[in-house]
Structure 1
Amino acid sequence: MIPANASTRKGPEGKYPLHYLVWHNRHRELEKEVRAGQVDIEQLDPRGRTPLHLATTLGHLECARVLLAHGADVGRENRSGWTVLQEAVSTRDLELVQLVLRYRDYQRVVKRLAGIPVLLEKLRKAQDFYVEMKWEFTSWVPLVSKICPSDTYKVWKSGQNLRVDTTLLGFDHMTWQRGNRSFVFRGQDTSAVVMEIDHDRRVVYTETLALAGQDRELLLAAAQPTEEQVLSRLTAPVVTTQLDTKNISFERNKTGILGWRSEKTEMVNGYEAKVYGASNVELITRTRTEHLSEQHKGKVKGCKTPLQSFLGIAEQHGGPQNGTLITQTLSQANPTAITAEEYFNPNFELGNRDMGRPMELTTKTQKFKAKLWLCEEHPLSLCEQVAPIIDLMAVSNALFAKLRDFITLRLPPGFPVKIEIPIFHILNARITFGNLNGCDEPVPSVRGSPSSETPSPGSDSSSVSSSSSTTSCRGCEISPALFEAPRGYSVLGGQREAATRDDDDDLLQFAIQQSLLEAGSHHLGGTNQQQARHPPHVL
């Protein structure tokens, strides 16, 4: 039995008591130690792992269960940037993946609820507005930009209420799916109501998020993943894409000829913006396959279309504005078992050795130059008005999560009326803010919009403002009816959870990539039965 007093311990069991018990898979003693509450459950060992990360990597299911039950953070990354869920997948243990996935989703709900009071306060203080965010995917690869999807998110903010309309819903059977959908967030004193309005089916899915008194067991039960969800992870590569911006720098773009140069400005939707280039932005895509069977590895390698082969050539040469793509493949071997003394000794060099399943990793690194169009006189405030909305949407939308990661950097002064950032190694996303408060085009339900007499598809006609006064781009009034369930729609309790809600980066990447590949095969004369069932959206 390990002494209860940590000060009497020596060696790794004294410095890292929870890790030491996890290493030896002594889950009953681990339970007692965690209950005592005298040791930090998030302590890092010399290899940059929390006790939960260590338990998951070693495949010690019962130890992971104990740590998760006592609140160990599933969202933490280890020193190599892998999440607990990604390490669980690499073990091939279905039960372990199911357990980790369940607690990950549960903890996300809890964090989301905990952040609602702060979000409500930010929304309450911010000035009301309407704005459109146009998303366009661009690429330096010929023809790719023409077959990429695009969408315009329409955003209404009034008091503690928020509504976002979209037509790009996600993907199904590896094809982009479109529809007419609204997401409504309505803040109240002690709770918030979230609605997903499907205008095509005239159905409203509603959920009330109480700010206190949530039953832990009910939330855990609701987060239980299906076996199909778990198997889909175990039969697909683990893919993560991240922007490395630690060395990023912003410089004004120049224009001019014959030695005469001036700082560049452009008009964006009626606003004069300074153009900046962001250099030293690296997009790193890492793919792990050690958990896949030979059959599934063959499927991953063998499913190439003519465009995919072409993109492979294009990747090797890089684009006109981008650095050459560097691809590295690591097949890690563990020729000798690692002892506890070696692992917990910070001065001992493990080299390529590590515990767990030998890693099969492919890393793609490419440098990009992001662009920013910043307007210092823009009526909107990025910090006070737009950032809280992006934070809220980022919970369940991978595109907004990418945008949030970029705008949280220390940007030059001004509002980013247009942003161009990389999201995949051949794709950039260009986001443009426009039609503020209906200044450019009439918007139903926005009082002061030039003409707001005709409701848009899916909008309740009763919500149209009767005002036709001149729009002030620095403020507006929005009809409260916009945040209610439309008349004649069926209202169902409980928010629908669809596969497209999973905000893991790999789903976004596969959706974009497959959309390009399928559309490219069509244009290049390829045949595909699935393509016939789900034709690509050519925009």
Structure 2
Amino acid sequence: MPMTMAQEEGEKYPIHRCIFQGSVKTLSSLIKTHDIAEKDKQGNTPLHLAVMLGRKECVQLLLAHGAPVKVKNLAGWSPLAEAISYGDRQTISSLVRKLKQQTREQMEERRPNLVAALHQMGDFYMELKWDFQSWVPLVSRVLPSDICKIHKSGASIRMDTTLVDFNDMRWERGDISFIFNGDQKPGHSLIVLDNKAKLFQRVRHKETELEIEDEVDILMSSDIMAAQMSTKGITFSRAQTGWIFREDKREMVGTFHADFYQINGMVLESRKRREHLSEEDLQKNKAIMESLTKGSSQGFKNGEPPLRRASLNPPPESNITWDEYAVAPPGQCPLLGRNLVYKESSKSFKATVAMSPDFPLTVDMLLNVLEVITPFKHLSKLRQFVLMKLPPGFPVKIDIPILPTVTAKITFQEFAFRNDIDPELFQVPSDYFEDPMRDYDVYMIMMMALHNISCL
């Protein structure tokens, strides 16, 4: 007898099927011989299904065997996003820990190549000017500008900035230096200096249990966000100048000749889910996020443990069978968890990029530098842009969207290879004091958490 479509899918994806059926024993056997990262035709990995169906033992077994957490299904959501929707605190905590572990492992895998690439690159000084703009007039008046000063020597990079953080319309100014010493051990390679307060902090690679639980509270109290720049339809065309006699636009950017291009089809897509939040949550969430962005971790008060967010009541048990799931067309996945409360938006941007054949740095070199300093959100956006297939040359002037209402004009206004970079720039000044309680760890945790969800 010929097999039905559902039987064929079951043969193709036996781990997915056994998770659907809730068979931990079968999973324990199959996990030894099958790819636990494989996606089915809905783009779901076994971990996606285990989370959405509330199969907690399957989740723990998959995580113990290294199932990837940073992976999206066809709908664009990660297992962590689905876990937040389901609302089981233990599952969310387990996924956050595993995500951080896998991220650290991936970074450490890349680290030797990154350090080698930095050593091979000449030492230099570079300035990036950031001008933030908005099509909303009142917003545009309050947006800041900043000049990032970057020194590079050997495998060390220092970035000085006055823009510490931004979130929606809140802009935090300061005098901050971010130092990466690639030849140091991982736990000692990242340092943040507060030059006004003359304090420093080592950015830890491993979070404490308290910080993990603080982060879980943030995730359970917040919208599930996914924002990305759609690059599928992007094309580049030469920008034109002149009223009557049109010609390709060429100008000097600093000391560099540059050809200007129009960027066509740039779209910022953002999606938001909040089926796990009550009306009371939405009110509390604002206060929690404001508290954390100011650096006040919930912590322990008067020796009492903080009040943690409890797991939600699970959604109704899914009555979808494996056969029904297996025959659903790609992109039309049956609902396996809560009813979605979902909003999406997209905004098109008109932008230009100036490409210079004269700039001494290559795009690959720039990517290596940006990989070190991407904990800063606006620099992460720049790296995402530069990863696109650009016209020939180096992008000395770029327009990129940062938020739905805010764009940034970035200008590489100064660059020089130098052999006289002062090594003391990459050391903590002797009159600075270490302050492990500063808010940068909370900032890094929150930004990387939100970044991870938006990238997943």
Q: Structure 1 length normalisation: TM-score? A: 0.71
CA radius of gyration, larger in: 1
Partner residue, 2:191: 195
- Aligned residues of 1:334 and 1:358 also touching (Cα < 8 A): no
Runs (5+) with no aligned partner, structure 1: 1-9, 210-218, 302-332, 438-473, 511-539
How far does the alpha carbon of each residue in 1:323-351 deviate from its partner, in whole angstroms, 9 at most, with x for none? xxxxxxxxxx99983211111236x5785
Change (3 A) 1:507 1:207: closer
Q: Which residues of 2 match residues 374-413 of structure 1 at below 5 A?
A: 374-384=355-365, 386-394=366-374, 396-413=375-392
Equivalence map 1:206-355=2 (5 Å)? 206=202, 222=208, 225-258=211-244, 260-297=245-282, 337-345=319-327, 351=332, 353-355=334-336
Residues 504-535 of structure 1 show CA distances to partners (whole Å, capped at 9, x for unaligned) of: 5858999xxxxxxxxxxxxxxxxxxxxxxxxx
Q: Would you say the 8 A contact 1:16–1:45 is kept in 2?
A: yes
339, 361, 364: which one aligns with 2:342: 361
Which residue matches 1:498? Answer: 442
Q: Distance in 1 between matches of 2:70 and 2:162?
A: 30
How far residue 157 of structure 1 moved from its aligned partner, in angstroms, is: 0.6
Structure 2: distance between partners of 1:113 and 1:273: 37
**CA distance in 1: counterparts of 2:333 and 2:443, whole angstroms:** 36
Alpha carbons of structure 1 residues 297 and 242: separation in structure 2 relative to 1, 3 Å: same
1:308 equivalent in structure 2: none
Q: Does 1:18 align with 2:15?
A: yes
- The alignment covers a number of residue pairs equal to 419
What are the residue-to-residue correspondences of 1:90-101 with 2, within 5 Å?
90-101=85-96
Q: Secondary structure at the match of 2:189?
A: strand
Deviations 1:247-282 (A, max 9, x none): 111111101113x10111222223222111110111
**In the alignment, what sits opposite 1:167?**
162
The equivalent position to 1:485 in structure 2, one of 405, 413, 428, is 428
Aligned pair in 2 of structure 1 residues 272, 509: CA closer, same or farther (>3 Å)? farther
Query: CA shift at 1:182, angstroms?
Result: 1.3
Q: 2:210 and 2:63 mapped to 1: Cα distance?
A: 14
Instruction: Judge conservation of contact 1:46–1:345 (CA < 8 Å) in 2.
Output: no
Q: 1:371: which partner in 2?
A: 352
- CA RMSD between the two structures: 3.2
- 1:350 & 1:277 partners in 2: Cα distance? 33
Q: 1:382 to 1:27 in 2, by over 3 A?
A: same
Determine if contact 2:221/2:285 at 8 Å carries over to the other structure: no
1:368-423 CA-to-partner distances (Å, cap 9, x unmatched) read 12210111112222222x210111222x2222221111111111111111110112
How far is the alpha carbon of 1:69 from its aligned partner? 1.6
Residue 30 in structure 1 maps to residue 30 in structure 2: no
Per-residue deviation, 1:232: 2.2
Cα offset, 1:479, TM superposition:
1.1
Looking at structure 2, the residues matched to 204 and 13 of structure 1 have their Cα atoms a distance apart, in angstroms, of: 56
Pick which of 142-151 and 290-299 moved more: 290-299
Aligned to 2:54: 59
Distance 1:509 1:276 in 2: 32
CA change 1:343–1:353 in 2 (3 A) is: closer
Alignment of 1:124-139 (within 5 A): 124-139=119-134
Q: What is the letter of the counterpart of residue 402 of structure 1? A: K
**Within-5 A mapping of 1:4-153:** 11-34=8-31, 36=32, 38-153=33-148
Q: Distance in 2 between matches of 1:227 and 1:207?
A: 18
* Structure 1 residues 414 and 146: CA distance shift in structure 2, 3 A: same
| Secondary structure in structure 2 of the residue aligned to 1:503 | helix
- Quote the offset at 1:24 in angstroms: 2.4
Question: CA deviation digits over 1:39-59, x for unaligned, max 9?
Answer: 001011121101111112223
Counterpart residue identity of residue 206, structure 1: R
Secondary structure of 1:67's match? helix
Provide the C-alpha distance between the structure 2 equivalents of 1:136 and 1:146, rounded to a whole number of angstroms. Answer: 12
Shift of 1:244: 0.5
Q: Is the alpha carbon distance of 1:334 and 1:47 closer, same or farther for their aligned partners in structure 2, counting shifts above 3 Å?
A: farther
1:352, CA displacement in angstroms? 7.0
CA distance in 2, matches of 1:481, 1:502: 31
For 2:172 and 2:398, locate their aligned partners in 1 and report how far apart those are by CA, in whole Å.
25
User: Unpaired segments of 5 or more residues in structure 2?
Assistant: 1-6, 287-314
Secondary structure in structure 1 of the residue aligned to 2:35? coil
Distance 1:168 1:142 in 2: 21
CA distance in 1, matches of 2:246, 2:34: 61
Q: Return closer, same or farther for 1:425/1:41 CA change in 2, 3 Å cut-off.
A: same
More RCO (CA 8 Å, sep 6+): 2
For residues 122 and 188 of structure 1, what CA distance do their matches in structure 2 show? 12
**What is the rounded CA distance, in whole Å, between the counterparts of 2:445 and 2:110 in structure 1?**
19
Contact 1:372 1:416 in 2 (8 A): yes
Distance 2:372 2:85 in 1: 31
2: distance between equivalents of 1:401 and 1:360? 29
Give 2:297's aligned residue.
none
Identity of aligned residues (%): 33
